[in-house]
Amino acid sequence: MKQILVSGVIALFLSLIGTPLLIRLLARKGYGQMIRDDGPQTHHSKRGTPTMGGIAFILATLVAYASTKLITGDKPSMSGVLVLFLTAGMGLVGFLDDYIKLVKQRSLGLRAKAKMAGQLIVGVTFAVLALNFSDSRNQTPASTKLSFTTDFGWSIGPVIFVIWALFMILAMSNGVNLTDGLDGLATGASVMVFAAYTVIGVWQYGQWCGAQVSANGACYEVRDPLDLAVVSAALMGACFGFLWWNTSPAKVFMGDTGSLALGGALAGLAICSRTELLLAILGGLFVLITMSVIIQVGSFRLTGKRVFRMAPLQHHFELKGWSEVLVVVRFWIIQGMCMAVGLGVFYAAWVAAS
């Protein structure tokens, strides 16, 4: 448990002091955010705000995890390393996209095929590796079974698993990216989900098949539950530190660098903790905002009419007259309720099983 506290505190500290240094560097280079002309008029004042701030919390997370292992003398686990690989890999794809937008002055960044290729390479590599590196109990970081609060049903096989893992990674990355439209919204929502996964990792470790089994034989078949909690705590601390500078009025934006990394981290934690479908509840705000875009596009193509004044959903409420801070706080409340419901379902499933 010491590792969880150490990783969270180090990541928080590094992100708090590292983000303003990054802001100054980005500002000096002139790497400022471009704002859509068709968006809310209040956003035009944000033009030129430094972006690619996701670099700060990605580096803070990686350094915090490595430092924790050095301080405690504990070895890194394959599950933890793979989640961090997915986080950094997706962040790298986002960084290339941001870099081309800002430095090359190409508004669309990476071309769609190149961006998708990068995400596929990182996602497939993660999925394939996650089915290898079995421990002494023959447990691999990921399972070929679908999972909700634990694995269930028949094995879907390695090929379909890779496709499923890719879907999760792309869905969560796009979900966080769509949510990252208001100051602090995506960062604050991510903090809550990472907090939930820290709790889940600690609980799974307490009821872990590798350590003990309850009287009726119930336990969690997860390869490295405690280390997943360490990674979650590092991500939570890093995002907390970044939120200090990203909250309204934001001094820096995370950019695709941050949003793709956070989406990858969430998907990786869900896959390795065997809570894949539960992520849809824990990260309910991301799902809600993604669905608003799907509904808007689908409605317009089928009927020529829009359901919302603007998609994603947060901009609809801005155009209805809600202030940016009001939208963010109320959406944080929604995400908090999703997190609470998700943890409640997770615990209820354990009670029912035991």
pLDDT at residue 55, rounded to an integer: 96
Whether pLDDT at 44 is above 50 = no
- Residues belonging to the binding site for Mg(2+) are 177, 256
Nearest-5° Cα angle at 5, 268 to 3: 70
Residues 6+ apart with CB under 8 A from 265: 83, 86, 87, 194, 231, 235
Kindly report, residue by residue over 20-42, the tens digit of the pLDDT. Answer: 999 999 888 777 665 555 555 55
- Residues belonging to the binding site are 177, 256
What's the chain's Rg over C-alpha atoms? 20
Q: What distance in Å separates the CA atoms of residue 28 and residue 43, rounded to the nearest whole number? A: 22
Contact, 13 vs 235, CB < 8 A? no
Report the residue count for the chain.
354
Query: Can you say how many angstroms the Cα of residue 331 is from the centroid of all Cα atoms in its chain?
Result: 17
Q: How confident is the model at residue 208 (pLDDT cuts 50, 70, 90)?
A: confident
Average pLDDT over residues 295-302: 93
Kindly report, residue by residue over 183-197, the tens digit of the pLDDT. Answer: 999 999 999 999 999
pLDDT at residue 339, rounded to an integer: 98
Q: What distance in Å separates the CA atoms of residue 213 and residue 190, rounded to the nearest whole number? A: 32
Domain ranges of the chain: 1-280
